[in-house]
Amino acid sequence: MTSLTLSRPFALPLETTSSPVILRTQSISKAFGGQRVLDDVSVQLRRGEVVLLRGDNGSGKTTLLNVLSGNLEPDSGTIELSADGTEERFTFPRRWWKTLNPFDHFTPDRVAREGVGRTWQEIRLFSTMSLHDNIAVASSGQLGENPLLVLVKNSAVRKQENNNLAIAQDMLTQLGLGDRGAASGDRISLGQSKRVAISRAVRAGGQILFLDEPLAGLDGTGINQVLGMLEVLVRDQNITLIIVEHVFNIPLLLTWATTVWTLKRGRLEVQAPDDVQEEANSDIGTGLRSWITELGGPDGQINDQPIAGGAMLSTVIPSGRPRGKVVLEVRDLVVYRGNRLIIGHDHDGEIEGLSFSLREGEVSVLQAPNGWGKSTLLDAIAGLTPIRSGEIVLRGRSIKSMSPWARAGYGLTLLQSRNHEFPNLTVKEALHLTGHVALPDNLHRLLGRKMSDLSGGEKQKLAIYAALRTDQSRVRLFDEPLSMLDRVSIHELQRVFKPSAGEAFLIAVPGSPEILGVD
Amino acid sequence: MTYLSHLLIYLNIYVIVALGLNMIVGYCGRLTLSQAGYFAIGSYAYALASVAWHWGFLPSVALGAGLAAVLSMAISLPSWRLKGDFFVMVSLAVQIVILSAIYNWYRPEAPLGTLRNLTNGPAGISGVPKPDMFGIKFDTVGSLAILATVTAGVCLLLGALLLKSPWGRVLQALRDDELAAKGLGKNVRLFKLQAFAIACALLAVGGALYASYVSFIDPSVASLDQSVLMLCMVVIGGIGNFRGPLVGAFMLLAFPEVLRFLNIPIALAAEVRLMAYGLLLVVMMHFRPQGLCGSYRIE
């Protein structure tokens, strides 16, 4: 992977630029159930600015994003928007007579029409629509969105629609997806989906884009492609970006961002990127590789096993004790999704079953690029995806004909990347369903809250502790457990990813050996 | 020939109904049970206007369609906030309100067409005249079949134009992911208002055609059975595209006709038919949830 060099769109400090302010908030506050999540937040945003929004789990990042993109009304404060050239001012709490007009609410569609776009962690492409339509639907000012005009001015509607589809095709071509226009939104890779989602927000007229973890889950190539695209948007179209990103990716953005917004317990501090560079680097060491190294302790060893397709299985071998017995063995595994071979191919794409083993007391980290099939592999081991051929042996017994629940009963636990929570239960109730979970002290404060009220990072931490519950499990599989977690939580997890004597862990993470510093 | 014309009339009515219902279920992603209510509004408006006020065919149909479009707000406004089970409950309540209104909005002593007697209650309205347009009287089964075919053809053409336009695409987008559609600046409330109004107007046009053909209507046209039957049509045919509901309309027309040849006693035929519909629904939900030709699965 060749590294991408990004140059800042502005000379710093920002006050010296003549770029106009297009978003200003004054004293924005928001509380949930008496807990103040945003506290007197006042910021301003200039056209072409690149802002990195960071903060620990539960610090209010998503709440701020939701407020500024119209998905949530603040309890008090003012938001002024002038991204589309006309100034709009929203004061909260809104006057009662303003609530009477159903078309004059502070809503995401209203804010989007003012030039504020957004992408989500879970991407949200329209899954039943083609990529063409996914982008074309975003076009603003479409005559064909008025049913009366569709009937009485059909030729004008069709002409404009053909033009919109041609623009969509151009945008897809620029993304390298020119020949995939007819594919549906759920048939492209994660990196491609993220770039289509950004293009869609731009096509909708977004002058300010809020991007929620645009690099999460991407390998080095995917990260370069997304960053390259964002740089072009800022440089050529003067688009303003507010980016929330995972702690591992923050150093990549700091060289480019013009401003850093740091949220701490609901209070927002505006900082210069250079001021937080050192702190960010020290947070994560040199990235995932150092995190893996630290898992093994000072004298631990790492055994790297390259796997076809650009993946690497790194096994952390603790020092000072003999290697444990093999507890899970995967032999010549081949898995298809539909007609597509996902798991079990060599470097030339020919069928060659995947084989590896996990030993007691060891943690293995599978790093693989997007689309490699990490989730498919873990699902296949857990019995959630059928295998074409090969053998899976757990504790000396073949489990390939066992049902998923029988495998769980025999000692297999899987934490899926998409957590399935119980939104209406409190944390305490949800944990009771899980079994005996040893929560650290700093999570006890969450016990009385509803699952749906938790931040993404808080849910992820609870899911990990639930997957580490005290039971008869011998092999625990974790699919992207580090996503959505802040630096404190990621360090904290180094302490809990310590399998007991009879256990083995397999952790799947996105990435490729080249960006992790492995030769 | 008369038998085939009769089937053709029913097929056309079902096609119009399925087309309208598909806009709500397949394009807005809202499962509803109030369709028979809007069908009945069209039937009763047509019957009332033509029998009591002696309006012509087109104004009577337009009255029903317009009334249904306005009253569609009873379900489109709740759809702004509700979906899933909650929306089904609201639509069921609307269905019951319409049925109750049809049963009870009458006084035996008041003449039909006055404010005190709009529906004739359980007795229904008889003697609904056959369509008469531009000096042509459609009083034979054959001529009515032609009228029904032309009407269905026009509805299909309008429906195709709308659903394949950017307007239809926005409906699909808000069905797939309402939040993402809002994030692109789409006023999803307005789109839902429009889609429900057009859909309910189409249901009412189907109802008016039905009333003009059978010449007699009573509250049973607004029953829940009818709503379920109409829903079966789109669920079995498939939703979310243009051809699914057409296939569904054909299937539900053909199905009882096939049963007719099995020599099932008349007393049992209706029950057997309902049981078969239920079985068909269960089988479809299990093996092909998107319907025979659909492109969207009901969650």
pLDDT in tens, A432-459: 887 777 777 778 888 888 888 887 788 8
pLDDT at site A518: 38
pLDDT at site A515: 42
Of A103, A126, A142, the CB nearest to B166: A142
The answer on pLDDT for A516 being more than 50 is no
Q: Is the distance from CB of B99 to CB of B222 less than 8 angstroms?
A: yes
Higher-confidence residue: A90 or A101?
A90
Task: Give the ipTM of the model, two decimals please.
Answer: 0.88
Angle separating helix axes B243-260 and B224-237, nearest 10 degrees: 120
Whether B165 has its CB under 8 Å from any CB of chain A: the answer is yes
Least confident range of A6-20, A227-241, A492-506, B85-99: A6-20
Instruction: List the 108-137 stretch of A: residues with Cβ below 8 A of B.
Output: 108-109, 112-113, 117-118, 120, 124-129, 133, 136-137
Q: Which of B104, B108, B84 is nearest to B96 (CA)?
A: B104
The encoded tokens of residue B6 equal 């009769």
Measured between CA atoms, the residue of chain A closest to residue B185 is A109
Using left for φ > 0, alpha for ψ between -120 and 50, and beta otherwise, residue A507 falls in beta
The CA distance from A152 to the nearest CA of chain B, in Å, is 11
The answer on pLDDT for B298 being more than 70 is no
Residue with tokens 């944990």: A431
Cβ pair B183:A129 closer than 8 A: no
Banded model confidence at residue A274, pLDDT cuts 50, 70, 90: confident
Cβ pair B166:A144 closer than 8 A: yes
pLDDT at site A188: 78
Whether B239 has its CB under 8 Å from any CB of chain A: the answer is no
pLDDT in tens, B62-71: 999 999 999 9
Overall number of domains in chain B:
1
pLDDT at site A14: 59
Least confident range of A78-92, A212-226, B88-102: A212-226
Of B183, B194, B296, the CB nearest to A117: B183
A491 CB burial (10 A radius; 0-12, 13-18, 19+): middle
The encoded tokens of residue A422 equal 């119980």
The answer to whether residue B138 is domain-embedded is yes
Share of chain A above pLDDT 70, in %: 91
The answer to whether residue B288 is domain-embedded is no
pLDDT in tens, A345-384: 877 778 889 999 999 989 999 988 766 888 899 999 999 9
The answer to whether residue B243 is domain-embedded is no
B298 CB burial (10 A radius; 0-12, 13-18, 19+): middle
Whether B190 has its CB under 8 Å from any CB of chain A: the answer is yes
Rg (CA), chain B: 19
Calpha distance A31→A45 (Å, rounded):
24
Interface probe for A, chosen from B165, B172, B191 (most Cβ of A below 10 Å), is B165
Residues in chain B with CB shorter than 8 Å from the CB of A107 are 182
| Domain span holding position B216 | 2-221
Whether B157 has its CB under 8 Å from any CB of chain A: the answer is no
Q: Which of A121, A130, A114, A124 is nearest to A205 (CA)?
A: A114
Bond preceding residue A513 cis, omega within 30 of 0:
no
* Domain residue ranges of chain A, discontinuous segments joined by +: 14-115+208-283, 126-204, 288-516
A14-115+208-283 and A288-516 have identical folds = yes
Q: Out of 3.10.20.30, 3.40.50.1820, 2.60.40.1930, 3.40.50.300, select the CATH number for domain A288-516.
A: 3.40.50.300
The answer on pLDDT for B257 being more than 60 is yes
The answer to whether residue B48 is domain-embedded is yes
The answer to whether residue B273 is domain-embedded is no
The DSSP H or E segment spanning A77 is: strand A76-81
Whether B166 has its CB under 8 Å from any CB of chain A: the answer is yes
The CA distance from B180 to the nearest CA of chain A, in Å, is 6
pLDDT in tens, A153-163: 999 999 999 99
Banded model confidence at residue A8, pLDDT cuts 50, 70, 90: low
Using left for φ > 0, alpha for ψ between -120 and 50, and beta otherwise, residue A110 falls in alpha
pLDDT at site A278: 74
The answer to whether residue B67 is domain-embedded is yes
> What fold is seen in the domain A14-115+208-283?
Rossmann fold (3.40.50)
Question: pTM (2 decimals)?
Answer: 0.80
Calpha distance A284→B152 (Å, rounded):
66
pLDDT in tens, B71-88: 999 999 999 888 888 999
The answer to whether residue B239 is domain-embedded is no
pLDDT in tens, B166-195: 999 999 999 999 999 999 999 999 999 999
- Reported as half-sphere exposure (CB side, CA atoms, 13 A), residue A484 has a value of 22
The answer on pLDDT for A2 being more than 50 is no
The CA distance from B166 to the nearest CA of chain A, in Å, is 5
Look at residue A303 and give its three-state secondary structure.
strand
pLDDT at site A356: 94
Cβ pair A108:B187 closer than 8 A: no
Whether B198 has its CB under 8 Å from any CB of chain A: the answer is yes
Residues in chain A with CB shorter than 8 Å from the CB of B193 are none
The answer on pLDDT for A125 being more than 60 is yes
The CA distance from A79 to the nearest CA of chain B, in Å, is 18
Of A128, A136, A157, the CB nearest to B296: A128
Banded model confidence at residue A492, pLDDT cuts 50, 70, 90: confident
